[in-house]
Amino acid sequence: MEYNKAMFEYEEISQCPLCQSNQYYDLYVATDRLGRTESQFKFVQCNECGLVFQNPRVNPKTIGVFYPDSYYQNRKINNRKNTIKANIVKNNVSLRGSLIEVGSASGDFLNKMKKMGWYVEGVEPSYEGVQHCKNHYKINSIHCGNLLSRHDNGIRFDVAVLWGVLPHIHNPVQTIHYLSEILKPSGKIIVTCANIDSIPAKIMKDRWGHLDLPRHYFMWSPSTLRKLLEMNNLNFNKIIFHDNLWNSNVNLFKLKPLSFFNDHLFSNQHLDKAHKYILQRSNRLLSHPLLILSRLLKKGGMMTAVGTKVKLA
C-alpha cells in the first residue's frame, strides 16, 4: 500500500536537538526504501556539532504508517547475533545483574540474558512484539510504548542496551537522560548504530541503506554519540567499529562503473533469482576488503559505544 502525504504530517525542526544551533545545511535527500510513499525526505547536518537529523521530519505521531506489519513480522531468531550482543555485555559488565533493553522487539535477546541469570526488562512500541515476549518467553517486565512513557518502578539497572534503535528515536537527548537516571552508579550504557562518518556512508552517500528515511530521525557519528552521552552524565569509555551485527550496506552494484548490472536482467523467474543470488554473493566478496579497511581506519559502517554513569560526589 502506498501512502500519500495526507496520511502523515511533517514538522520543522528549528534548531539542532544536540547543541541548539540553528545553522545547518542540506546533506541527503532520499525516498522510502520500503516504497510506502513516493515523497522524498531530507537529512540536514548541523554546522556546529555535526549531528545529522531529518528536517523537516515526519511527525512522531504519524510515523507509524512507515512501519508496516512486515517490518516486525517474520523476523527469524538469530542466535549468532544474540550471542555477539551477550558477549558485548559480558565484556563490559563484570557481574550478572539487571539489564534494560530499549527496542526489545520480540524479546529474543532478553530471553537469552534471562537464561544467563540476568534480571531483564524491555521497552518496545510494537504490541505484537510485547505479546510475543510475554507469551513465548514468559517475560512480563516489558513496557509497550516509548521509554519516556514507562513508569519508574524504582529498579536501578547495571546496564542499558540499545541495539540499532537510537536512529529511530525522535527525542534522543531525553531518552538517554532517562536511561542515565535509572542506571546504578557506574552502570553501563551500550549503544550500537550505523556510523554516518564511515567509509561505507561516504561511498554510498544518499544510496546508503542505513539512512532508512523516514524511519531514521537521526544518523550518528562517533563525535555526536560521545556528545550525547557526555551531556547526560555518562563517560564515553570506548567505541568499537564492526559490521558483524548488521551489514554495513555497501552495495557495489549501485555504484559506477558497476551500474550496468541490472536487478532484472532475465525474464525467466528462476534465472532472475539465480542472477540476484550471484550478485549478492559477489557484492559480499568484493565489499569485504573495504569493510575490513573501514574498521582498521576506525571508519566502520557500524559502531558500538560504551559509556559509564558518572559517580556524583
Please provide the DSSP assignment of 191-259 as one string: EEEEBTTSHHHHHHGGG-GGG-TTT-SEEB-HHHHHHHHHTTTEEEEEEEEE-SSS-----GGGSTTGG
User: Average pLDDT over the chain, rounded to whole?
Assistant: 89
The vertex-229 CA angle with 223 and 230, nearest 5°, equals 85
Candidate from 100-104, 262-266, 288-292 with smallest mean pLDDT: 262-266
pLDDT by residue (tens digit) across 15-27? 999 999 999 999 9
Q: Which CATH class is domain 5-71?
A: mainly beta
Q: How many CB atoms lie within 10 A of CB 304?
A: 22
Q: How does residue 259 score in pLDDT terms, banded at 50, 70 and 90?
A: very low
Superfamily, domain 77-203+221-245+302-309: Vaccinia Virus protein VP39 (3.40.50.150)
The whole-number average pLDDT for the span 211-231 is: 97
Which pLDDT score, from 0 to 100, does residue 51 have?
A: 98
The whole-number average pLDDT for the span 105-113 is: 96
Q: Global pTM?
A: 0.91
Helix (H, G, I), strand (E, B) or coil at 98: strand
Which pLDDT score, from 0 to 100, does residue 260 have?
A: 47
Better pLDDT: 176 or 276: 176
Contact 15, 55 (CB under 8 A): no
The whole-number average pLDDT for the span 154-172 is: 97
Q: Is the pLDDT of residue 74 over 60?
A: no
